Every structure is written in C-alpha cells, then in structure tokens.
Amino acid sequence: MAQGDNTQEQLASISVEIAALHELRQICDRALGYCLTLTGSEFAFTGLLQDANEGVIASGQAEVSDQVMDIAAIKGFSASSDFYRSFHLMALRSSVVGVVIKENRSYVANDVDQDPHSVGQPSGHPAVRRFLGAPLRLGANVIGMIGVANKQSGYDSGDERLLTTLAGQVAVAVGNARLYQRQRQTIAELQQKLHERLTELERAQLLGRERQRIAGALHDHIEQEIFLIGVRLRSLLEDRSIEARLAQEIQELRRLAISAADEVRRAIFHLNGEEELGNLTDDIRSLVQEFQHTSGIGVHLSVSGSPTAATEAVHDVVHLVVREALTNVVRHASATVVLVSLRHEAARLEVVVQDDGTGAPETLLRTFPDSYLHFGLRHIRQAVIDRGGSLEVTNGDEVGLVVRASIPYPTEPA
C-alpha cells in the first residue's frame, strides 16, 4: 500500500513537471526517463503518428495500414544517425508495436520472439526480448504510443497500469505542445504576410479578423477545457482521504490551471480589443446563459449604471469572480435560482452573486482565505485584492450564499 501511494505521488509530481514543458523533444525525453526508472526497463521510445492533426479514431479494430508513425524519441540506447534515418518512420501493421495503435490498447509481450504479432526486428536494432506499449490518446483520437522494453523480470499488470497512466499525461502535454507550436507558426505566418504583401488598411482588417478567429478558438476550446480541468482537480482536493503530499501536488496543478485560464482570458480581451464598450456585459451574459443551460439552475442578470472606457480594465477579474461563484453554486449550494448583479459606479464596479441554496458553514467563511481546500474562493479574493478591491463571502439574510466584490477602476497616472 505504501509503495502504491508513493507511485501515485510520483505520477502526480511527474504530471506537474511535464505539463510545464512546451517543446515536444523535452516532453518525450523527460517522460521516457521516468518510464525507464518506474518500470525498470532497458530502453524506451515515444512514437507519434505522422499526421499530427488527425490521429486514429479510437473505435476498436481500426484499419491504419496507410498510417506512419515517427519514432520521436528513444532513450536507453544510442542509435546511429544512419540507423535513425532508416528506421524512424514505421508503417503500422500487426506487430507487437503496431497492435498498440491498431487496436487502441496497451499490449504486453514477455516473449517477443514467440509472440503471435512478432514480425522480426531490423538489422542493427538492439534485441527486444520483452515489450510493453501503451497508446497516447487525446479525446477520441490515438496520436501515438509509448513503448518500453527488456525489463529483466518481465512486465505485469502493475507496469501496464503505470505506463497507461503516464501515457495519458504525456498525450495531454503533447497536445498542448502542438497547439503552442501551431499558435507560434500562425503568428509567424501572419506577420510575414503583413510585412510582405498587405497595405496598411489590409493589415488592419486582416489582423482584426485573425484576432477574432484566435479569440474565438481560445474561448470555445482551450479556455473551456482548462476550466473543466480546474473543476475536476478541485473535486479531488475536496476528498479528505487523500494524503497531504498528494493534495499539495493536486493543489499546484489546479493553481497552474487557474493561472493558465486567467492568461487565456487576458489574451482574449486583448485580441478582441479592450476599448470596445459593452464587452463585459456581453461576456457575463454569455457566461450566465451557458451556466443556466448546463446546470438547469435559473439565473437572473441585473446591470445598472453605464460602463465607461475604464470598465474593460477590470473585465478579466470580474469574469473570474462570477465564474468561480457560479461554479461553487452548482457544486455546493443545492440552489434553484442565482442573481448576478453588476453595478457600474463612477470609480468602481460592484459585483454580487447570490443564490437561494443552503449557504456555507461559518467555519468555512472564516477560514477560506487561508485554506488550501477552498483554493477557488481564496484565488478570486486575492485577484480582487491585487486590483485594490475587496471581496466578502457571507450567508444571505434568509438563505443562500452571497459573494460580493468591489473593484476600483485603475486611475490614470498623474
């Protein structure tokens, strides 16, 4: 039991480390090092399908004979440049390696020579006596695999579970790295086109459309996925049976997820143009409509006063407060109705989110600013304070919980 707990802590720590990397080479190299250590293998490799945009639909016995896998990284033996050029591209077929992707499942072969899927090994390749492979999955797609070889005692179900778990973490990191690379490539291509061919007016028009397209993609896909990751991590934190060390690792993961969501949100605001009035109200209206649709809880949005040019300067923190408050409602409040209120004043914006649910224990209301178990509330409180504002969380006069934030507009320098 103690060994299992230690392995889970290691995997959580590895996940944090790999998630912070942006380059495919770094991700694969770091992951393979851990594969060798955790499974006691002689060597390991990572293979990625050559078409990074499609992958293989994970629907059982997929036909992928026309797919090619690139051996993106190897660890444990030094392949010569000639060997790598000759064999790094592998046509997928029913080999002990190919079956992992063709059938979308982990595969163990503790006697490779006698395995029914064995098709031999290329000249110059180190002997593979025992093999374990696990697919890299992103959603419904298989994008590649991780393989390890030649554990002296052979691979068992524990090794299989461990490699499958690690493969899931690596797949997410690979997906994020590819997205990061595509964004950099898109920006570079856009800059080149703007400098080489377009007039000033055409540049402005194209840049505006491109900003809207990128902002839409960030909002519709990346921001929502990061938000769901944060919600699931918070659910894990609320399980009081987890050990303190693992809770700290999960807490750090959630902090990274929230930080990433904040950065994406800021990027969206800059891409859309902060000078456009009405963005905040439209954004909060979309947020509460989506919440009402997914949760089934009624939401009323009340807006009073008139927004000014300064309003958009607090757009991101207001969105963060309302989103976290609504998330708490659906997870904890047992509410049927929520009121979201925005009141524009001359120098500040007042935000109130109140539900008709069960409220919160007084102990939580006193301790959440310093409790790692309530990271979401603590995070929005700090975000508001960092803008010079204040945040209160209290029970309502009769029912429910009230989250009240007062956020000043930034002042112009003298």
Burial of 244 (0-12, 13-18, 19+ CB in 10 A): exposed
Average the pLDDT over 46-52 and give the result.
Answer: 77
pLDDT digits (tens, 9 = 90+) for 103-116: 889 999 999 889 88
Q: Supply 214's token pair.
A: 């990128």
Closest CA to 118 of 316, 10, 24, 127: 127
Does residue 58 contact residue 168 with C-beta atoms inside 8 Å?
no
pLDDT at 268: 63
Predicted confidence (pLDDT) at residue 267 exceeds the cutoff of 90: no
pLDDT of residue 58: 38
Q: Which residues pair with 132 in a beta bridge?
A: 108, 148
184 or 369, higher pLDDT? 184
Q: What is the pLDDT of residues 15-41, one digit of tens each?
A: 777 877 778 888 888 888 888 888 899
Query: What CATH code would you report for 274-414?
Result: 3.30.565.10
Q: pLDDT band for position 53 (50/70/90)? A: very low
Say how far apart CA 404 and CA 343 lie, in whole Å: 11
CATH 3.30.450.40 boundaries in the chain: 2-175
Q: Per-residue pLDDT averaged across 317-339, rounded?
A: 87
In the chain, residues under CATH classification 3.30.565.10 are: 274-414
Residue 52: predicted pLDDT? 44
DSSP character string of 4-64: HHHHHHHHHHHHHHHHT---HHHHHHHHHHHHHHHHT-SEEEEEEES-TTT-EE-SSS---
Angle between helices 244-272 and 200-217 (to 10 degrees): 150
Residue 94 binned pLDDT confidence (cut-offs 50, 70, 90): confident
Q: Residue 371's pLDDT is what?
A: 57
For residue 55, the model assigns a pLDDT of 41
Whether the pLDDT of residue 54 is over 70: the answer is: no
Tens-digit pLDDT profile for residues 168-216: 888 888 888 888 888 888 888 877 776 665 565 555 566 666 766 676 6
Mean pLDDT of the chain: 78
pLDDT confidence band for 270 (50 / 70 / 90) = low
pLDDT at 4: 55
Each residue of 340-362: pLDDT tens digit? Answer: 999 999 899 999 999 998 888 88
Nearest to 170 by CA among 6, 38, 2: 38
What integer pLDDT is reported at residue 343 of this predicted model?
93
pLDDT-derived band at 239, boundaries 50, 70, 90: confident
**Phi, psi (degrees; rounded to nearest 5) at 218:** -60, -45
Let me know if domain 2-175 sits in CATH 3.30.450.40: yes
- Asked if 288 contacts 326 with a C-beta cutoff of 8 angstroms, the reply is yes
> Comparing 120-134, 223-237, 281-295, which segment has the lowest mean pLDDT?
223-237
Q: Could you give the CA distance from residue 316 to residue 405 in angstroms, rounded to a whole number?
A: 13
Instruction: Please give the C-alpha separations between residue 400 and each of 2, 24, 272, 355, 358, in angstroms, as whole numbers.
Output: 42, 48, 36, 5, 5
Confidence at 259, pLDDT banded by 50, 70, 90: low
Max avg pLDDT among 139-153, 179-193, 356-370: 139-153
pTM for the structure as a whole: 0.43
Bridge partners, residue 302, by sequence? 341
